[in-house]
Amino acid sequence: MNRDQAREIVNLLLDATSNTVGDDGLADGFIVRAGCLAGVSITIFFSRRRIISAAIMLRSLGPPYLRQLPLNYSIKALRSFLRERIHLICDGNPFGNEGAPFLDRMKHEDVGLLVDEFMKCDILHPDNQAIIFPLVTVRVADDLRGSVFTFSSNPRLQDQPQFAGLPSGYINGDQYPPFASWNRQTESPASWLLVNAPSVEVAKKYRASILGAVALTVMHQYRYQFTERKVFGGIASFGSRWTVSGSSPHTPALGALIDLTSEDKDWLDILDLAIVSTDESNIKSVKALQYFYRSWFLFDSERFVIDCITLDSLFGDAKGATEAVARGVEDLFGGRIDRARVLLLMRLRSSVIHGGAPDVFDSEKYGKYYRKYGEDPISDMSSLVAECLRRKIFSGTLREQSDPYARTIADAVAAGIYPLRRPTGILSDID
């Protein structure tokens, strides 16, 4: 953000602020901490309609993290910014001119001082917190460290640079909450995801993209096979102080652990850069991974809709989403995928998303797909979406986990009680 843009935001903020309630004033009562009114309790009002304009501009021109949060976050941040610097407005200019916006009572150079403050404030330059998520189904052999996120093994959690100032032995990575002195109920994670972010809400968005990518490493036939094993969630953040809160599990209850090693570093580095990038293609990729993460927890019919939206986020065009997605998929696979099959999937998608069928099973195209291709369209959509994400975002660097049941299957095949498994589905002819 340049200075002219910052001045425009400050002007909008001051124009939204007065000492009377007006038609839509939001009241802020507080004690002035500095200047000639130090110690005085005052109340100011923010016009809701006008401050929204300032917040929209801030959200548009400010740091990327603001676009990960509700607009109300930017509104509250602007109100807090002005409260903390009210002495720059009050000094030499006590509350007269009843009802006039603060912008009308300030000199141009005084507004400039406020712009200077805004250019260096923590809204534009937030301090990152270390937010940590305990993982139950992901195992880490080697710490995988990036600028935005890190996967840590349990023994190495205390060695992460975010916790360098803490006393030795303060953190116990074998338990959640991760405090050695914690004497209440604990859980046992398999590893940790650490995210550097301005807030927990932003970190949760990053987590969705990161674990959405991790889901891509699981073989398709196992990605949605869940067990009754116990998985747990939880979030701990460390900034000026520790906070701990509960949450739903961060991954589904997979039957086998996902193993991340140094071989995964290349694709994790691609994701690390994409998460904070302002490039439009990276923004679309990160959003697509968030959708894919959301679908990971869902049953078949619910997952199909989110998978469709994931493809839309990668290839969609508001003027012709079905054709645009089909064309994008075909281009990504170099024309080696059955276009008619993809189009039928897209039409099934259209009947569900646009109100033709409240459930994918209700659509006549669901049975038509089965009759024509002998495969489940929901499974085909999931495998197609996963492969599109792997190719478009990670360009072949993301490796798939080895089959955790390969030996058991081989023994069953040798014993004649399990069929030879051949490539099936929409990707069967794709190498």
pLDDT of residue 391 exceeding 90, the answer is yes
Specify if 13 maps to a domain: yes
Same domain, 186 and 255: yes
Residue range 48-70, pLDDT digits in tens = 999 999 999 999 999 988 988 99
Asked if residue 106 and residue 61 are part of one domain, the reply reads yes
Are residues 31 and 40 in contact, defined by beta-carbon separation less than 8 angstroms? yes
Per the structure, the count of domains in the chain is 3
- What is the structure's pLDDT at 359? 81
Q: Which amino acid is at 205?
A: K
pLDDT at 94 over 50: no
For residue 421, tell me if it sits in a domain. no
Q: Do 38 and 75 reside in the same domain of the chain?
A: yes
Does residue 425 lie in a domain region? no
Distance, in Å, from the CA atom of 206 to the CA atom of 153, rounded to the nearest integer, reads 19
Do 260 and 304 share a structural domain?
no
340-352, pLDDT tens digit by residue? 898 898 888 888 8
> What share of the chain has pLDDT > 90, as a percent?
56
The pLDDT of 88-109, averaged and rounded, is 73
What is the reported pLDDT for 323? 78
Q: For residues 199 and 179, state if they share a domain.
A: yes
pTM for the full model?
Answer: 0.88
Which domain-ending residue is among 233, 254, 281? 281
Specify whether 211 is located in the same domain as 308.
no
Measured CA to CA, the distance from residue 149 to residue 195 in angstroms comes to 4
**Each residue of 205-255: pLDDT tens digit?**
999 999 999 999 999 989 999 999 999 999 999 987 899 999 999 999 999
Domain co-membership, 218 together with 163: yes
If asked whether residues 133 and 104 sit together in one domain, one would say no
Residue 424 within a domain = no
- With bands split at pLDDT 50, 70 and 90, how would you rate the model's confidence at 97? low
Q: Are 205 and 290 in contact (CB under 8 A)?
A: yes
Same domain, 162 and 272: yes
Residues 112 and 134 in one domain: no
Q: What is the pLDDT of residues 150-205, one digit of tens each?
A: 999 999 999 999 998 889 889 999 999 999 999 899 999 999 999 999 999 999 99
Regarding whether 270 and 320 lie in a shared domain, the answer is: no
The Cα 215–Cα 113 span in angstroms is: 49
pLDDT tens for 9-53 read: 999 999 999 888 888 889 998 888 877 777 888 888 999 999 999
Give the number of other CB atoms < 10 A from CB of residue 367.
Answer: 11
Domain identity same for 365 and 307: yes
Q: pLDDT at position 104, please?
A: 87
Domain span at 334: 298-409
Q: What is the pLDDT of residues 249-267, one digit of tens each?
A: 999 999 999 999 999 999 9
